[in-house]
Amino acid sequence: LLSRLSVLLADSNMDREEFCKTMLDALNKVTACYRHLVIALGSTSDSQNLREELKKTRKKAQELAVANRNKLTELLKDKTTSKDDRAEYERLWVLFTSSMELLEVDMKRSLEIGQEFPLKVPTRHLIQTGMTGSTTTVAARAMSVQNMKYDADSNIDTADLKELQAEITQVGQMMEEMEMKVQVAPWAVEAKQEAGAELKSTLSVGNSSVGVISICEEDPKDEIDEGGDNNGMITCVAGFVFVAIVVIAGILGYFVIGG
């Protein structure tokens, strides 16, 4: 996915910015999914598969983080950017660092909970939280694949922890380096979204095209009060049709411009 993207996009500043936005969307999505996965750790929906999902999601997050960091540092080190452009890059930087902070905390917590709740002990006491389903759809969303493949060893719950510790140190070091290299005052950044912006069902930050399209669903009734699930299906179908039309329009447009 990453190599395809880097081939598609040329190396101008505008395209670099678009690339960054796309990458940030992806990182944001992976961070959100990772959090959902860590919340399931130690509970009755914990399993070998969950540990593998965590590992894969983490690795993906790190790839995205490195890609983001490189491109953003490039953009921010460029002294020739205009003030508006620079403000925009700083905004993207704040998005990136906030994502990384969440990721780092979640990684540390997953290490701690993973150590407390090993899977392969005879008297295994997972917390009966009421969650019993699997998290494979969440992980599939994070990895942007249709179905997850599971191919890890049976001792992943203990073997992975060492790797995780190393990765946590890596992330910590990366963030310190970033703070040193780039001079950005995060509190000076002005948000583009106003209060209540989440109520508008817009697509994500950039003009995300390849592989990062997210379908918006609106759940009409309060879930705790047990609303019906029928509307979900209808909006899914409508969303599919909409996306299909957008993709076709995009392809036609690409041909027109590129041709």
Give the Cβ contact number of residue 20 at 10 Å.
25
Alpha-carbon gap, residue 120 to 189, rounded angstroms: 48
Name which of 188 and 256 has its Cβ closer to another protein.
188
Contact call for residue 214 and another protein (CB under 8 A): yes
Alpha-carbon gap, residue 127 to 234, rounded angstroms: 36
Give the Cβ contact number of residue 52 at 10 Å.
21
Contact call for residue 189 and another protein (CB under 8 A): yes
Alpha-carbon gap, residue 216 to 31, rounded angstroms: 18
Contact call for residue 207 and another protein (CB under 8 A): no
Which of 20, 23, 40, 212 touches another protein by CB under 8 A?
40
Name which of 131 and 159 has its Cβ closer to another protein.
131
Q: Which of residues 20-39 bind another protein (CB under 8 A)?
A: 25, 28-29, 31-33, 35-36, 38-39
> Is the separation of the CB atoms in 71 and 93 below 8 Å?
no
Q: Name residue 55's amino acid.
A: K
Contact call for residue 161 and another protein (CB under 8 A): no
Rounded to the nearest whole angstrom, what is the least distance from the CB of residue 37 to another protein in the complex?
A: 9
Name which of 221 and 249 has its Cβ closer to another protein.
221
Angle, alpha carbons 153-58-39 (nearest 5°):
90
Rounded to the nearest whole angstrom, what is the least distance from the CB of residue 13 to another protein in the complex?
A: 21
Q: Give the list of residues 6+ apart from residue 78 with CB closer than 8 angstroms, or none.
A: 13
Which of 1, 9, 102, 168 touches another protein by CB under 8 A?
102
Print the binding letters for residues 218-237 with another protein: x by CB under 8 A, - otherwise: -x--xxx-x-xx--------
- HEC string of 159-180 equals HHHHHHHHHHHHHHHHHHHHHH
Which of 70, 158, 173, 193 touches another protein by CB under 8 A?
193
Rounded to the nearest whole angstrom, what is the least distance from the CB of residue 254 to another protein in the complex?
A: 26
Three-state SS for 43? strand
Write down the residue that tokens 């992943």 correspond to: 156
Q: Which of residues 107-146 bind another protein (CB under 8 A)?
A: 109, 113, 116-117, 123, 125-133, 135, 137-138, 140-142
Contact call for residue 65 and another protein (CB under 8 A): no
